[in-house]
A and B are shown apart, each in its own frame.
Chain A
Amino acid sequence: MTTIAKPENLVYTRPEGLTDFPTHYCPGCTHGVAHRLIAEVLDEMGVTEKTIGVAPVGCSVFAYNYFDCDFVEAAHGRAPAMATGIKRVLPERVVFTYQGDGDLASIGMAEIMHAAGRGENITVVFINNAIYGMTGGQMAPTTLPGQKTTSSPLGRDVETQGYPLRMSEMLAQMDGAGYIVRRSLHDPKNIRLAKKAIRTAFETQVRGLGFSMVELLSTCPTNWGINAIDSLKWVEEHMIPVFPLGDYKVTASVAEIKA
């Protein structure tokens, strides 16, 4: 009997930047994909050892368990401020935050805006799945019009509950931002594009070219109440029209490293 575990047969292994620690994420959730992409990029750049991550409050509150580098755990929304404190005293280190939509776009709006405005040389990975995951599926600032959540049970009514916020578009207005893009994790092609963007974002930081953020459209099958496959379709069919994928800010100097 042949075994696929023979070294010569291995085509897919855990990146060194990830720990051997089972994640707590729900089946079908794309957090695991995003984690892997970051770890692969840090490994490929050879900077995992000198990276300090800042975990948020939300489903990825335990992100620090999964990345094999130094990590701190911020208060809800405050990761960009904490990252600022770290990066300013350790400018040679690679500092990134990993934040969800409630953390970044709601309670942490001031901190993300001003970190970008100051042009902090940090990288932000922004997971947008249009819902509060950890607290059990409440309306987020990125929840779509009409989307049902446990705190918009009849669907988000824009008359009383407002409209979704588009963070990449907003942050692209900041002079301190070097690289702001939105990608999606709903299929292999887009996952590859997301990885490229994460690489560019970290390269932006390493070269001191300003604030960088990659927004990743992500799934939450559990709180959306649909299965994993349909969740990927839901991203494509419902989220992308509201949150178009694309490069929102690529400064000339960042464009050079991309090429």
Chain B
Amino acid sequence: MTREMLKGNEAIAEAAIRAGLEAYFGYPITPQTEVLEWMSRRMPELGRTFVQAESEVAAINMVYGAACTGTRVMSSSSSPGVSLMMEGLSYVAGTEVPVVLVNVMRGGPGLGNIAPAQGDYFQAVYGGGHGDYRPIVLAPASVQEAIDLTVLSFDLAEKYRSIVMVLADGSIGQMMEPAELPPMRKVERKDWDWATNGAIGRERRILTSIYIDPVDEEVTNLRLFKRWQEIQKNEIRYKEYFLDDAEFVVVGFGTAGRVALSAVRQARQQGIKVGLLRPVTVSPFPFEALDKLAAKAQAFLVVEMNMGQMLNDVQLAVKGRVPVEFYGRPGGMVPFPDEILSEIERVATTKLSIDPDPRNAWYERMVAVK
């Protein structure tokens, strides 16, 4: 295959198709609509299922139904639409069926706007729906990574009978850049021993998220946790840049991580010993990698396109050993490398204290600039 100019949303859609997607159910919402549009043309021409649902609520429940049959199925949406799907996702989690969902995040809360943002980190990483469950969440920082993670998401979803969310943002979805699509995989519907696909010549099966006896629900919660432990053990992914001799560590995911990398490169040219850790799985989160870095780094800088959400997880990993500073651009704003470079310079040259909530100091700096 060769590299070609691809738009993020279309690349995600085509990658899913080539990974063996058999059914797509979705609803239009900016900035992910091109996924739906791509599916509406490609899926029928391949003889596969495409339905434009009446709402995100219906879309995720169609996905839920198809997932119960053991079919490779997905939906995609953007922040407000994903909020509507939270009910369905909780049922999917409780029923333990594999589902892939792409969230091309936009500014919020509420209707917000259609610009790139990362304000759904808490919702995505900590589940979002009611009850105890943890989804796998993959955060691409380029069109190529969006393709690769979309393909991976189906395998992970089936391996762990889990929800896998590809947590992109509007800029990943809308930008065009050179990338390579994977070869077309053959569609193979596996004969899972849990799928409700018609009890022909076998005992009937029931797929449900109801365990009316608390004893059974507790067992279910423990089972889900055991699977989550396995996921934590096997599936943590992250990218390291210039970390070998780094005295200062920048942490950012997705687009914020990508912009931060430009800033880190510039800072290196200035002689600042700074590196970047970019989580690829924000759930499970690379706690151990950060824990090791905290043992030798002088300070951390967390960069996000929100009010400081992944910041909490970085603080959990660093455990107050060294200062963790924060720089964010919420509301659909994307930081420029220069802004992050200034923050790196500040962190590298200022005597910092260990602030339990670095958002406050960041807020003061933000207000002063405005």
Contact of B73 among A69, A85, A113 (CB under 8 A): A85
Contact of B199 among A69, A73, A74 (CB under 8 A): A69
In the bound assembly, the distance between CA atoms of A88 and B91 in angstroms comes to 20
Contact assessment for A85 and B61 in the assembled complex, using a CB-CB cutoff below 8 Å:
yes
Contact assessment for A82 and B62 in the assembled complex, using a CB-CB cutoff below 8 Å:
yes
Which B residues are closer than 8 A to A by beta carbons?
22-23, 25, 49, 51, 53-55, 57-59, 61-69, 71, 73, 87-88, 91, 95, 196-201, 204-210, 212
Contact assessment for B91 and A75 in the assembled complex, using a CB-CB cutoff below 8 Å:
yes
Contact of B87 among A50, A61, A75 (CB under 8 A): A75
With A88-B23, A89-B23, A89-B49: A70-B206 Cβ-Cβ less than 8 Å: yes
Contact assessment for A73 and B61 in the assembled complex, using a CB-CB cutoff below 8 Å:
no
Contact of A69 among B54, B57, B204 (CB under 8 A): B204
A residues in contact with B197, CB < 8 Å: 52, 70, 90, 93
Contact assessment for A85 and B62 in the assembled complex, using a CB-CB cutoff below 8 Å:
yes
Contact assessment for A84 and B198 in the assembled complex, using a CB-CB cutoff below 8 Å:
no
Contact assessment for A85 and B23 in the assembled complex, using a CB-CB cutoff below 8 Å:
yes
Contact assessment for A90 and B198 in the assembled complex, using a CB-CB cutoff below 8 Å:
yes
Contact of B58 among A54, A90, A114 (CB under 8 A): A114
Distance (whole angstroms) from the CB of B315 to the closest CB of chain A: 35
Contact assessment for A93 and B64 in the assembled complex, using a CB-CB cutoff below 8 Å:
no
Sample (17) of A-B pairs whose CB atoms are under 8 Å apart: A52-B69, A64-B206, A65-B206, A68-B204, A69-B204, A70-B206, A72-B65, A72-B68, A73-B209, A75-B87, A78-B61, A82-B61, A82-B64, A88-B49, A90-B69, A110-B57, A111-B57
B residues in contact with A68, CB < 8 Å: 199, 204
Contact assessment for A73 and B210 in the assembled complex, using a CB-CB cutoff below 8 Å:
yes
A86 interfacial by beta-carbon distance below 8 Å: yes
Task: Name the 7 nearest CB pairs between A and B, nearest first.
Answer: A85-B65, A73-B208, A82-B65, A81-B61, A85-B62, A85-B66, A114-B54
A83 interfacial by beta-carbon distance below 8 Å: yes
Contact of A86 among B22, B65, B88, B91 (CB under 8 A): B65
With A49-B198, A85-B63: A111-B206 Cβ-Cβ less than 8 Å: no
Residue among B25, B68, B71, B197 with the highest chain A CB neighbour number at 10 A = B68
Contact assessment for B66 and A88 in the assembled complex, using a CB-CB cutoff below 8 Å:
yes
Contact assessment for B51 and A88 in the assembled complex, using a CB-CB cutoff below 8 Å:
yes
Contact assessment for B198 and A70 in the assembled complex, using a CB-CB cutoff below 8 Å:
yes
A222 interfacial by beta-carbon distance below 8 Å: no
Contact assessment for B53 and A81 in the assembled complex, using a CB-CB cutoff below 8 Å:
yes
Distance (whole angstroms) from the CB of A108 to the closest CB of chain B: 10
Contact assessment for B58 and A110 in the assembled complex, using a CB-CB cutoff below 8 Å:
yes
Contact assessment for A51 and B198 in the assembled complex, using a CB-CB cutoff below 8 Å:
yes
Total contacting residues, chain A, CB less than 8 A? 34
In the bound assembly, the distance between CA atoms of A65 and B95 in angstroms comes to 16
Beta-carbon nearest neighbor of B59 in chain A:
A81
Contact assessment for A110 and B198 in the assembled complex, using a CB-CB cutoff below 8 Å:
no
A residues in contact with B68, CB < 8 Å: 72, 82, 85-86
Contact assessment for A89 and B71 in the assembled complex, using a CB-CB cutoff below 8 Å:
yes
Contact assessment for A78 and B49 in the assembled complex, using a CB-CB cutoff below 8 Å:
no
Contact assessment for B206 and A81 in the assembled complex, using a CB-CB cutoff below 8 Å:
no
In the bound assembly, the distance between CA atoms of A43 and B66 in angstroms comes to 25
Contact assessment for A61 and B196 in the assembled complex, using a CB-CB cutoff below 8 Å:
no
A residues in contact with B49, CB < 8 Å: 88-89
Distance (whole angstroms) from the CB of B46 to the closest CB of chain A: 14
| Additional pairs, 12, CB under 8 Å, beyond known A70-B206, A81-B62, A89-B69 | A49-B198, A52-B197, A69-B198, A69-B204, A70-B205, A72-B95, A73-B95, A73-B209, A75-B61, A85-B64, A90-B197, A110-B57
Beta-carbon nearest neighbor of B209 in chain A:
A73
Contact assessment for A49 and B58 in the assembled complex, using a CB-CB cutoff below 8 Å:
no
Beta-carbon nearest neighbor of A118 in chain B:
B51
Beta-carbon nearest neighbor of B197 in chain A:
A90
With A49-B199, A85-B66, A93-B198: A64-B208 Cβ-Cβ less than 8 Å: yes
Contact assessment for B54 and A111 in the assembled complex, using a CB-CB cutoff below 8 Å:
yes
Residues A58-100 near B (CB distance < 8 A): 61-62, 64-65, 68-75, 78, 81-86, 88-90, 93
In the bound assembly, the distance between CA atoms of A71 and B207 in angstroms comes to 6
In the bound assembly, the distance between CA atoms of A114 and B206 in angstroms comes to 26
Contact assessment for A78 and B88 in the assembled complex, using a CB-CB cutoff below 8 Å:
yes
Contact assessment for B65 and A54 in the assembled complex, using a CB-CB cutoff below 8 Å:
yes
B residues in contact with A90, CB < 8 Å: 69, 197-198
A residues in contact with B210, CB < 8 Å: 61, 73
A residues in contact with B204, CB < 8 Å: 68-71
In the bound assembly, the distance between CA atoms of A32 and B87 in angstroms comes to 30
A residues in contact with B25, CB < 8 Å: 85
In the bound assembly, the distance between CA atoms of A84 and B73 in angstroms comes to 13
Contact of A70 among B51, B67, B196, B201 (CB under 8 A): B196
In the bound assembly, the distance between CA atoms of A111 and B64 in angstroms comes to 14
Distance (whole angstroms) from the CB of A46 to the closest CB of chain B: 12
In the bound assembly, the distance between CA atoms of A239 and B206 in angstroms comes to 34
Distance (whole angstroms) from the CB of B58 to the closest CB of chain A: 4
In the bound assembly, the distance between CA atoms of A118 and B199 in angstroms comes to 27
In the bound assembly, the distance between CA atoms of A138 and B128 in angstroms comes to 29
